[in-house]
Structure 1
């Protein structure tokens, strides 16, 4: 009987742990007809267009459409920067933005939107002078925050 109760508690613990585990999905839509959507974190390519599910937090990741003219870290292209993390206190959750701070530059229309939480929150940049992107480090008002657990991110090019 004691063995059966231990197995039951282990099973319940595993179920609760799996329900509480942090996960985030990043998906791409490339309407350009060229290029490869690229997602990197710390210099490691996490995706080249395929939807990816991240177990745990995704900290300081970047995405861009590799058109052949982008450096490994998106130099010369429109950059989407993101951190997807479950909030532990007010203001500590996810944040995503578009960057055109040199050496990044407008390359293609790019945008993002959260889903599975904060639905409708996001931004699009349709030209080199878009007001929704960082042009200098002080443009912090362009960051789009989300305070939902397990939020996901859809990134679109040429929409």
Structure 2
């Protein structure tokens, strides 16, 4: 009986330790607008507060809703992200800034990973920023992270 209970507790502990989790936080320094995080299916996940998911966050978008942005960030600077523990080498998290039309520069925007890949990120301070997608072939601007449970900080007007 004791052995079965021990195995059950050990299995539960291992499952909890290996559970995937990611958090997205916002720092809006603009003094206006609403930070918005949407899932791939269009569901609003956050309007400024921290968002934590237990599992991967696939194909999410973030932008500062200033009143002129469409529901999917059209007309604004867009940050696209996938946060996931790498299922294979090179297949972990990836984040970028997009100015591919119908997205356009609206406010200074940036991101950085934390709890792994600290210091990796990008900033876009003007419409010609070299760290943003301007066309679909600009894949060199993607910032990858291959660390489990990495988190993302998004800043506006820094």
- Residue 48 (structure 1) aligns with: 47
Q: How far did 1:5 drift?
A: 2.4
- Structure 1 runs (4+) deviating above 4 angstroms are none
**Residue 27 of structure 2, aligned match among 11, 26, 29:** 29
**Other-structure match for 2:58:** 59
Determine helix, strand or coil for the equivalent of 2:16. Answer: helix
What residue ranges of structure 2 are gaps of 5+ in the alignment? none
Query: 1:7-18 residue pairs with structure 2 within 5 A?
Result: 7-18=5-16
CA distance in 1, matches of 2:55, 2:42: 18
Distance 2:148 2:57 in 1: 13
- Deviations along 1:89-128, whole A, 9 cap, x unmatched? 2210000000000000000000000000000000000000
Give 1:137 shift: 0.3
For the aligned residue pairs, the C-alpha RMSD in angstroms reads 0.7
Equivalents in 2 of 1:55, 1:115: separation in Å? Answer: 17
Look up the match of 2:73. Answer: 74
How many residue pairs match? The answer is 157
Q: Equivalents in 2 of 1:51, 1:103: separation in Å? A: 27
Question: Which secondary structure does the structure 1 equivalent of 2:22 belong to?
Answer: strand
* DSSP-derived class of the 1:14 partner: helix
Q: Which residue of 2 aligns with 1:92?
A: 91
Deviation, structure 1 residue 7: 2.1
Equivalent in the alignment of 1:144: 143
C-alpha separation between the residues in 1 aligned to 2:150 and 2:15? 18
Unaligned runs of 5+ in 1: none
